[in-house]
C-alpha cells in the first residue's frame, strides 16, 4: 500500500540478468519497473541500493539511471569478498 509516513524506504536488491540475455536492456527495464512501483504505487520519493564498485556493468547502469553515490560501507558481512560496497540513492521525483 501507500507509504503511511513510516521510516521505511525502498531498497533495490539482488538484481540479476542471465549472462545470455545481458546487453538487451532487461536490467534497465527491471530497474525502471521497480522505481515505478516504489514511486507510483507506494508513494516513495527515493530508492536505495548497494553495489560492488568493481562490478562495472552494474555501476554503469545505476549511474546512467540517475543513482548517486552517497558513501561506502566497508566490509559488510553480507558482501562476501568485496572489500567495500557502494551505497547509492536516487530521487524518484514524486
Are 60 and 53 in contact by the 8 Å Cβ rule? The answer is no
Stated as kind and residue range, the H or E segment containing 31 is helix 26-36
Does the pLDDT value for residue 39 go beyond 90?
Answer: yes
What is the mean pLDDT of the segment spanning 61-67?
97
Look at residue 4 in the predicted model and tell me its pLDDT.
Answer: 58
Q: What is the grid cell recorded at 50?
A: 548497494
Identify the residue with better confidence: 52 or 2.
52
Amino acid at each position: 500500500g501507500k507509504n503511511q509516513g513510516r521510516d521505511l524506504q525502498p531498497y533495490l536488491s539482488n538484481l540479476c540478468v542471465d549472462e545470455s540475455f545481458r546487453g538487451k536492456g532487461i536490467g534497465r527495464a527491471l530497474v525502471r519497473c521497480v522505481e515505478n512501483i516504489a514511486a507510483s504505487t507506494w508513494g516513495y520519493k527515493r530508492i536505495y541500493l548497494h553495489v560492488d564498485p568493481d562490478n562495472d556493468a552494474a555501476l554503469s547502469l545505476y549511474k546512467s539511471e540517475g543513482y548517486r553515490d552517497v558513501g561506502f560501507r566497508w566490509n559488510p558481512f553480507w558482501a562476501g569478498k568485496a572489500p567495500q560496497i557502494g551505497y547509492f540513492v536516487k530521487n524518484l521525483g514524486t
